[in-house]
Structure 1
């Protein structure tokens, strides 16, 4: 593999192809304006760019937006469809040693599911669109699910 996802020293690829065991229905996609080359590495960098994004929901799922309002926090699950799926150990540029894929938030993973906690800026129910404060996903990334962020429930135990 070449380019952004070229294998680095210390990385390990899976030996066998992945066996598919489930189906996912995409409920829409994310319009972020980011390309593969300029996409932020994380949500903090995306927020620093002050670049809102748009969730475009497919017509059959628009009713599921009922109750979501500006100011709400959401947890987005999205499918990083352009990421490699064969790395089980990776060598991040910001670390001194390779580590397991499940110890990273890298898009390169067996199931390239991304997660972002975002703030709703606006909701247009008629158009099936939700404007969010920022996202670290490439333009056109398929959207898997939207869940409400619940601060009391979404924290580690003491």
Structure 2
């Protein structure tokens, strides 16, 4: 079977680093799905406005050239222990496909454009299909989640004085986005962690510089560039 993207999604994540590892963890994270010309007839989305959430089937385009791996190291296990690729949501899959559940905020009908939130996709990710979410069939409150059962712990986020002026120039949604993303600790799970190191992530069109304090379990924004 040969497949092609039905469109591409523009998101607030300019690079792979700091993209949430699951959808819904950052409610302020936005995306705009623009359909390719072949799939841009208004009839293709008829009836979709009655659904609050949709599934996006997408491609891991930034790692597709690296091939797949039979075992991977999930961040939830500290990036050290291995599990089978089919027991994970790793990008290194045989067909390079991912599945993401996002909130459908708004629809532009002609041409069709989907405005979504809670995304966990890097900017310009190819989308291969859209399917409506059915809570009566797909919501399973008592489901088990193996090694990923526990909720992801969150850090407190502080904006240092030197970065406050730039931070306050951002719109409210971008401010929420930065705090939500950094609270999840976007650093790689494996490897050493230097408390003095300054990290950077492209969020909502700006470059956010931040560092972690392991003693207080706090992440501090020290600089925002591009405001």
TM-score range, shorter chain: 0.7 to 0.9
Q: 2:118 aligns with which of 134, 143, 147?
A: 134
Q: How many residues align?
A: 135
SS at match of 1:39: coil
Preserved contact between residue 91 and residue 98 of structure 2 (Cα < 8 Å): yes
Gapped regions of structure 1 (runs ≥ 5) = 1-21
Task: Specify whether residues 24 and 61 from structure 1 end up closer, same or farther in structure 2 by C-alpha distance, changes over 3 A only.
Answer: same
TM-score when normalising by structure 2: 0.54
Query: Where do 5+ consecutive residues of structure 2 fail to align?
Result: 143-227
Task: Give the C-alpha shift of residue 39 in structure 1.
Answer: 1.5
Structure 2 distance, partners of 1:94, 1:72, is 29
- SS across alignment from 1:44: coil
The residue correspondences of 1:1-158 to structure 2 (distance < 5 A) are 22-34=1-13, 35-47=15-27, 50-62=28-40, 63-69=43-49, 72-83=52-63, 84-95=66-77, 97-155=81-139
Rg comparison, structure with higher value: 2
Residue 72 of structure 1 and its aligned partner are, at CA, apart by: 2.1
| CA distance in 2: counterparts of 1:71 and 1:156, whole angstroms | 18
Q: Larger deviation: 130-139 or 87-96?
A: 87-96
Structure 1-normalised TM-score? 0.76
Shift of 1:156: 5.1
Residues 23 and 119, structure 2, Cα contact 8 Å, conserved in 1: yes
Structure 2: distance between partners of 1:71 and 1:24: 25
CA contact (8 A) 1:53 1:132 kept: yes
* Distance in 1 between residues matched to 2:3 and 2:22, nearest whole Å: 24
Q: Spell out, residue by residue over 1:52-73, the C-alpha distance to the aligned partner (whole angstroms, 9 max, x if none).
A: 1111112331331121227621
The CA distance in 2 between the partners of 1:32 and 1:157, in whole Å, is 29
Q: 83-92 or 26-35: which moved more?
A: 83-92
8 Å Cα contact 1:71/1:121 also seen in 2:
no
CA distance in 1, matches of 2:12, 2:140: 33
CA contact (8 A) 2:20 2:120 kept: yes
How many angstroms does 1:123 deviate by? 0.5
1:97-133 residue CA offsets vs partner (Å, 9 max, x unmatched)? 2110000011111111111111111101113211001
SS of 1:102 mapped into structure 2 = helix
